[in-house]
Amino acid sequence: MLPRDRTAARSAPPALAPGELRTLAVAEWRADPAGYQARWTAYLHEAALRYYLYDSTVAGDPYLGFDALVLDRAAWQRLVEATELLGQVFQRAVRAVQRDRPTLERLGFPWPVAEMLVHEPAAPWLSPIGRFDFLLDSHGEWRLLEYNCDTPSGVRETSGAERLLARLLDPRGAYRRLGSRLAARLRAAFARLLQTAPRPVRRLGLVTDAGYAEDLAQLLFLREVLRDLGPELVLGDIDNLVVRRGRVYLLGRPVEALYRLYPIERLYGQPVFPGLLDAALAGRVLLLNPIAALLAQDKALLAWIWAHRQSGLFTPAQQRAIARHLPETYLITEVPAELDRRAFVVKEFFGREGEEVYLGEALDAADWERCRAWRTFVVQRLVESQQVETVFWRGARLEPVRCIPCVGSYLAAGRWAGVYVRLGDRITTNRAQHVAAFVAREPAP
């Protein structure tokens, strides 16, 4: 059993100012450090045993924080609106670029993959689930950092761990947690995409590199979420995936649809890749996260959207969403001559988990020229985010830290689906700490 907080507030939580962010747990830690640590440890155990979060530490330090970020209702509603509008924007942008070989190559796709993209069937959505990562800037505006559309993580945390945190940190139910709908919306998105398969789906393959604890655990959780979906679920390692005579087999069993929690850029180098794509193009297998999902995730597409922000491709509402939420972004090869790089961040097209992201102010002229020569970088205006205080566990010590909340907002089948928050440094890496996302309940009439 998880110990409940006996020091829980007995009155309604203090109201947030518009656009304000707040965390919940620092006061509890200050009041009772030993009790707080014990509750944190109990939480880690439960998260491991119930939600497959057995990989809840990174290099010995907890990745699952024992805290929650509270949004005010207006900020949450703006986040929902931004997520759904930007979902439409990315869908339109991908469909426009997908048939344009020269642009695809300019955005970092090797020509064989660009060729496949041109012919790839277009499903109603880019993938079952995507996640827009935002910062809330000092003016209370959500500013988009990137779109994780290919293999977004965090579902275990948002759907599972957050449920535990709500019980532990908010026993009186003063807040509404924001991840409560994620599992249902994810399941619905899978169901609707499977209906578009060119042939009936008797088996759905779920594939990952099982040698990576985090990826396997995410897929195990997903298997539980999709348990009653209909098709038989076959979970396998990438080494268990075979294509024979145009049919796709996982663990020796034919699958008619495949969801991959394995970066497609890594799959590109595997012997199974050409056969898998041939099978998809021939309608023998439905790839639930096709190559188009990687195009949506390509940071070069952010630059393309910025350049086309006033194009007739987008509706007026979508144009407003781009102007409001997307920071100014350029391909590094196309930056204006007068650009002051100290006010920008440099990001590799396909970098994941904060890899190959550099603050412009930290780049010297030689580094800058190297990035320009490599070509596969974008330059995005730095967002000055709000900061919050939380508790980090470093070695045997707990300490308060001011950090930046990176707010991931899920989109499933075109609808907002939940929030995944990590508290970290100016660049969010795997050393950031997950916390729950809450919003204050509406006061009773």
Could you tell me if residue 59 is left (phi over 0), alpha (psi between -120 and 50 degrees) or otherwise beta?
left
Judged by beta carbon, residue 117 or residue 235, the one nearer other proteins is 235
Least distance to other proteins from the beta carbon of 235, Å? Answer: 7
Taking the C-alpha atoms of residue 130 and residue 87, their distance in angstroms, rounded to an integer, is 9
Binding positions for other proteins, rule: CB under 8 A = 41, 45, 48-49, 52, 54-55, 57-62, 210-213, 216, 220, 235-237, 239-240, 242, 249, 251-252, 395-396, 430
Give yes or no for a contact between 236 and 266, defined as CB atoms under 8 angstroms apart. no
Least distance to other proteins from the beta carbon of 65, Å? Answer: 14
Least distance to other proteins from the beta carbon of 339, Å? Answer: 36
Judged by beta carbon, residue 9 or residue 251, the one nearer other proteins is 251
Six token digits for residue 266:
């890594």
Least distance to other proteins from the beta carbon of 145, Å? Answer: 23
* Angle (nearest 5°) at CA 156 between 13 and 186: 95
Least distance to other proteins from the beta carbon of 275, Å? Answer: 13
Least distance to other proteins from the beta carbon of 238, Å? Answer: 8
Helix, strand or coil, per DSSP, at residue 196? coil
Judged by beta carbon, residue 164 or residue 193, the one nearer other proteins is 164
Judged by beta carbon, residue 60 or residue 312, the one nearer other proteins is 60
Taking the C-alpha atoms of residue 25 and residue 435, their distance in angstroms, rounded to an integer, is 10
Least distance to other proteins from the beta carbon of 176, Å? Answer: 28
Cα atoms found within 13 Å of the Cα of residue 57, Cβ hemisphere only: 12
In degrees and rounded to multiples of 5, residue 359 shows phi and psi of: -75, 130
Least distance to other proteins from the beta carbon of 391, Å? Answer: 15
Give yes or no for a contact between 408 and 39, defined as CB atoms under 8 angstroms apart. no
- Residue appearing with tokens 């509706």: 315
Judged by beta carbon, residue 141 or residue 356, the one nearer other proteins is 356
Judged by beta carbon, residue 144 or residue 225, the one nearer other proteins is 225
Least distance to other proteins from the beta carbon of 430, Å? Answer: 8
Distance, CA of 48 to chain centre: 21
Taking the C-alpha atoms of residue 272 and residue 59, their distance in angstroms, rounded to an integer, is 33
Judged by beta carbon, residue 249 or residue 268, the one nearer other proteins is 249
Distances (CA, A) of 269 to 115, 196, 273: 16, 28, 7
Judged by beta carbon, residue 304 or residue 393, the one nearer other proteins is 393
In degrees and rounded to multiples of 5, residue 429 shows phi and psi of: -120, -170
Taking the C-alpha atoms of residue 127 and residue 259, their distance in angstroms, rounded to an integer, is 9
Taking the C-alpha atoms of residue 215 and residue 379, their distance in angstroms, rounded to an integer, is 29
Give yes or no for a contact between 160 and 51, defined as CB atoms under 8 angstroms apart. yes
Taking the C-alpha atoms of residue 413 and residue 417, their distance in angstroms, rounded to an integer, is 9
Judged by beta carbon, residue 46 or residue 256, the one nearer other proteins is 46
Task: Name every residue whose Cβ is closer than 8 Å to that of residue 253 and which is 6 or more positions away in sequence.
Answer: 203, 234
Judged by beta carbon, residue 69 or residue 276, the one nearer other proteins is 276
Least distance to other proteins from the beta carbon of 272, Å? Answer: 11
Helix (H), strand (E) at residue 418: strand 415-424
Judged by beta carbon, residue 54 or residue 268, the one nearer other proteins is 54
Give yes or no for a contact between 208 and 262, defined as CB atoms under 8 angstroms apart. yes
Least distance to other proteins from the beta carbon of 262, Å? Answer: 13
Taking the C-alpha atoms of residue 87 and residue 303, their distance in angstroms, rounded to an integer, is 16
